[in-house]
Amino acid sequence: MKIAVAQLNFHVGNFEGNLNKMLAAVKTAKKQKADIVCFSELATTAYPPRDFVEFDDFVDQAEETVNKLAKAAKGIAIIVGSISRNPVIEGKDLYNSAYFLENGKVKEVRHKALLPTYDIFDEYRYFEPANEFKIVKFKGKKIALTICEDMWNLGNENPLYTVCPMDELMPQKPDLMINVSASPFAYDHAQERIDVLKANVDKYKLPLFYINHSGAQTEVIFDGGSIVMSPDGKVFEELPYFEECVKTYNLEEVEKGGKVSEQPKDKMQLIHDSIILGIKDYFGKLGFKRAIFGLSGGIDSAVTAVLAARALGEDNVRAVLMPSEFSSDHSINDARELAKNLGIQYDIIPIQKAYESFKELLYPHFLGTSFGIAEENIQARTRGVLLMAMSNKFGNILLNTSNKSEAAVGYGTLYGDMCGGLSVIADVYKTDVFALARFINKDGEVIPENTITKPPSAELRPDQKDSDSLPDYAILDEILYQYIEKQQGPKEIIEMGFDEKLVRRILRLVNINEFKRYQTPPILRVSSKAFGMGRRMPIVGKYLS
Amino acid sequence: MKIAVAQLNFHVGNFEGNLNKMLAAVKTAKKQKADIVCFSELATTAYPPRDFVEFDDFVDQAEETVNKLAKAAKGIAIIVGSISRNPVIEGKDLYNSAYFLENGKVKEVRHKALLPTYDIFDEYRYFEPANEFKIVKFKGKKIALTICEDMWNLGNENPLYTVCPMDELMPQKPDLMINVSASPFAYDHAQERIDVLKANVDKYKLPLFYINHSGAQTEVIFDGGSIVMSPDGKVFEELPYFEECVKTYNLEEVEKGGKVSEQPKDKMQLIHDSIILGIKDYFGKLGFKRAIFGLSGGIDSAVTAVLAARALGEDNVRAVLMPSEFSSDHSINDARELAKNLGIQYDIIPIQKAYESFKELLYPHFLGTSFGIAEENIQARTRGVLLMAMSNKFGNILLNTSNKSEAAVGYGTLYGDMCGGLSVIADVYKTDVFALARFINKDGEVIPENTITKPPSAELRPDQKDSDSLPDYAILDEILYQYIEKQQGPKEIIEMGFDEKLVRRILRLVNINEFKRYQTPPILRVSSKAFGMGRRMPIVGKYLS
């Protein structure tokens, strides 16, 4: 039997577009002589459809899409993820399902049992878990058909569920496992995924076809990397990351095994490529072409500029240099040099006049006070107004250039440098932004060396340095990583050897700045715990604050 | 037996404060000769603690709080909601529990079985559902002790669960029901709550003590209104809304029934009171005292000003009038008159100079273009910069004055009039903002009559009216209500008799403006479906857009 894995980039709610992609893939799979072609989880709606599924009209359209796709299931069977209605009144109204289409019709429907409800996932918000487990028969083979999380109760330290769908299916003696999935990218997730799948294969001794989604939906990036695994637990083939592909495998060869083909997993390469896909899909799926951003001469906007130019093309990005009285000469030069290296349009708009007019307007009210945060923020917000004006006038979407370290401790100005439609690197810690800059320059200088080597500064007052108010980034980032990604509390982090006062100060900064992060643009998620929908913290809380 | 209902205002993560409130209430209950005192759901941590519960340290502190409270359970028993750890490795790590404290110790722990995971609720994100059901024995009585949602599978059209905890408990022949709850406010929710509780009492024929939380946690407001219900299904007493109280009931009298005492449920009174509590708790729990806002002469900022002054005191609010060349004379006069009526400080800062300097800075770039959205937004954003500067300088928190109708269709400027730490009326449709203004004026003019009767305008270009770009608010709001609160799709709304083109245009406006709402401040929730954590929509989606 020949099985085609179709790893595609769907678009939330774009039923027609998603259907057309699948119809084209069915044709390709037929050419490849596949007996069956498999699409990913919720392929009709794309993942995650979020509260759209609460609309009857949306569910109707998903059902129609499955029915239209079923008509193409002639001479080939199709497995596709979509939503289905729960006919029972008690329980949630919907299932997250895998449809088996054959002879132009829906032949079988199986439901997801393990519903991820953590981090970015909200599945129990919408779906009833499956309470029965049945294999699917096709051409003399018995298929154990499961959906994503259904296989994730094995191979990890903290199983979140009391049921293992594969354990329920094994008494029916399946010949192979097919898992349709929408497993999001994080720079360390591809390896975890392989480990979990291997734990399943090691236990059940069956070949596995694992079909992932590839593409970004606002902040969530899916990396593809679909996997075919032989019963010996070896990766027969791992499909490319961040790309669409349709590839057919001979089941007998996969069963035989003896072949190993994995993708390289370099952290900086993965972050680089994922962000480029994230930008590309944000613009492409919203129907936008052009971006704009402030270029300060600093490393954050430099890295953002390179990634944007690579995602959208140098003709579609525009930089604005907005020097003030506190900007150093080298900042302008570094920014200009980068713009020239990239071949992108740039404009220089000094902010002094607008800043002065604000000071003048506020003079009678600010009388007797001294220069402080208010004045610093006016500069940052003046830049925000200018960038948004350019964005509104010319239709370029503003990219936000904040990094994760500053987003964490609130070292940024709301409505100032925190503006933007999409936040490009706010899930990348400052130390990794430096690493990413080095990665970008690995084949020749793109980002001016001075931008990488000079001490980071917001340049909002004379001779300001980040290090005036923040600890060394190497230390800051490690503490943040332990708190945010690893969810370690103050006691555990202090026990690792960090200074107690510093740890408490940083954790407090993170917690009291929840109000700022609440209003940031969506942040492209590249780590296992990004700010945004996957991290839900109270604002009015009194904890470590 | 005498049972005390303690309806208190807790604070998320403030273990010490919450404990002290409970210890004081235990004393009061003892004075009232209560045999048992009952606190609400997750009383130790306050509700909702959100991702704080993912920190071991946080769970430890909750456990310590229960243990400290247990020491006070001498001569009186205590029921208190808190988190507890799941000792089994499989499944989620925590339970949402009700502790029964007696003789200075934890005597029993019961877990919540039905975990609300919809709208603002995320409980399955954290908690394992209970899988066993046991009554609690105390002084010869058998108590069916449940937690909030556990009673909500009855009395509504769409039961979300396949289990009814009370059905599981009934074979153990309980004498009464105690339900500890954290049921949030919506202007139509108190009646639904009574209906659901009555469905339970009608079925199980037992007296019911239902203890709710009173107080606001950022955007979510809990209204109290705890309920004691007799077995005849009558509300023996409904406690006040938006207040703390400790009140003791004689079980025998409640069993006998024959008394009915409910709170009035006037929509405008409820919205008015809930928002005042929302503002008060946002400031009080964050340790802030003073607010600032822009006062335009329009109805939205007028209503916001009144509510803020009533919540924080007139000495703690400050208005800024920021006229432009497009402001009408009456706007300034109306704004000034309101400020005087309220007795609040106000400043006038004309924005012209800053606006001109932005136009000057942008002149070479905007050359050849004509006045449009970019120029309108510069004005709104200039006001945003001025308000935030005043906020930063003087420590007054900026209140956002947007209404729900404009938030829905994106009729507002990001980083301009959409700025603020808290959005006061963005869950109130424009037609209800008018009704609220009338309600405020019911005992004499507070808001100038002209502010209420003049046609709404953003005043960002000459002779602009909201009606230039939006349909009549009566029609707009009804369509929005059907789409947002009632989750009706285009087909259903058109079938109600609304113009098809208009319906499609409005639904499209709502969907394409998701990106703006993503960056709005938290919005005080007064309806069953507010923008914010309870409504989770894709930004990069292609549905009705």
Q: Which residue has the tokens 């954590």?
A: B533
- What tens digit of pLDDT does each residue of A63-110 get? 999 999 999 999 999 999 999 999 999 999 999 999 999 999 999 999
pLDDT band at A469 (very low <50, low <70, confident <90, very high): confident
Q: Which of residues 8-27 of B touch A (CB under 8 A)?
A: 11-14, 17
Write out the residue limits of the CATH 3.60.110.10 domain(s) in chain A: 2-265
Q: What is the mean pLDDT of residues A234-249?
A: 98
| CA pair distance A182, B342, nearest whole angstrom | 55
Whether the per-residue pLDDT at A328 is higher than 90: the answer is no
**What is the mean predicted confidence (pLDDT) over A235-250?**
98
Interface test mutation site (partner A, options B415, B507, B515, max chain A beta carbons within 10 A): B415
Q: Would you call B392 and A373 a contact, using CB atoms and an 8 Å cutoff? A: yes
Tell me the residues of chain A between 374 and 393 that have a Cβ less than 8 Å away from chain B: 374, 377-378, 381-382, 384-386, 388-390, 392-393
| Catalytic one of B21, B38, B41, B285 | B41
Q: What is the pLDDT of residues A51-67, one digit of tens each?
A: 999 999 999 999 999 99
Taking alpha carbons only, the member of B464, B544, B466, B465 closest to residue B506 is B544
Rounded-to-integer distance, Cα B186 and Cα A227, Å: 48
In the structure encoding, which two tokens stand for residue B348, read together? Answer: 């006038």
Beta strand B176-180 with B422-423: parallel, antiparallel or unpaired? Answer: unpaired
Beta-bridged to residue A38, according to DSSP, are A5, A79
Residue A149 contacts B where some CB pair is shorter than 8 Å? no
Chain centroid to CA A309: 19
In A, minimum Cα distance to B483 occurs at A55
How far apart CA B88 and CA B92 sit, in angstroms, is 9
Alpha carbons within 13 A on the beta-carbon side of A14: 18
- Is B128 assigned a catalytic role? no
C-alpha to C-alpha distances, A70 to A73, A102, A103, A182, nearest whole angstrom: 5, 7, 8, 21
Distance CA B201, CA A6 (A): 54
**Cβ neighbours of A482 in B, within 8 Å:** none
What is the rounded CA–CA span in Å between residue B397 and residue B416? 15
Q: Which of residues 316-355 of B touch A (CB under 8 A)?
A: 347, 349-351, 353-354
pLDDT at site B157: 86
User: What pLDDT is recorded for position B287?
Assistant: 97
Residue type, A285: K
| Residue A51 DSSP code | G
pLDDT for B328 equals 87
Among B52, B121, B385, B390, pick the best mutation site for testing chain A contact (most A Cβ within 10 A).
B385
* CATH domain A2-265 topology: Nitrilase/N-carbamoyl-D-aminoacid amidohydrolase (3.60.110)
Domain B277-465, second-level architecture: 3-Layer(aba) Sandwich (3.40)
Q: Does the active-site annotation cover B148?
A: yes
Mutation target to probe the B interface, by most B beta carbons within 10 A, among A511, A543, A544, A545 is A543
Say whether B365 and A390 touch across the interface (CB within 8 A).
yes
- Give the CATH number of domain A291-517: 3.40.50.620
Judged against a pLDDT cut of 90, whether residue A156 lies above it is answered with no
Predicted confidence (pLDDT) per residue in A332-385, tens digit:
999 999 999 999 999 999 999 999 999 999 999 999 999 999 999 999 999 999
Per-residue pLDDT tens digits for A293-304? 999 999 999 999
pLDDT at B485: 98
Q: Using alpha carbons, list the distances in angstroms from residue A255 to A208, A230, A250, A251, A367.
A: 9, 5, 9, 6, 80
Handedness of CA A121, B218, B414, B489 (dihedral sign): positive
The pTM of the full predicted model, rounded to 2 decimals, is 0.97
What tens-digit pLDDT sequence spans chain B (545 residues)? 999 999 999 999 999 999 999 999 999 999 999 999 999 999 999 999 999 999 999 999 999 999 999 999 999 999 999 999 999 999 999 999 999 999 999 999 999 999 999 999 999 999 999 999 999 999 999 999 999 999 999 988 889 999 999 999 999 999 999 999 999 999 999 999 999 999 999 999 999 999 999 999 999 999 999 999 999 999 999 999 999 999 999 999 999 999 999 999 999 999 999 999 999 999 999 999 999 999 999 999 999 999 999 999 999 999 999 999 998 888 999 999 999 999 999 999 999 999 999 999 999 999 999 999 999 999 999 999 999 999 999 999 999 999 999 999 999 999 999 999 999 999 999 999 999 999 999 999 999 999 999 999 988 998 889 888 899 999 999 999 999 999 999 999 999 999 999 999 999 999 999 999 999 999 999 999 999 999 999 999 999 99
Helix axis angle, A473-484 to A430-440, nearest 10°: 110
Give B526: exposed, middle or buried? Use CB within 10 Å, 0-12, 13-18, 19+.
buried
**What does the pLDDT read at residue A94?**
98
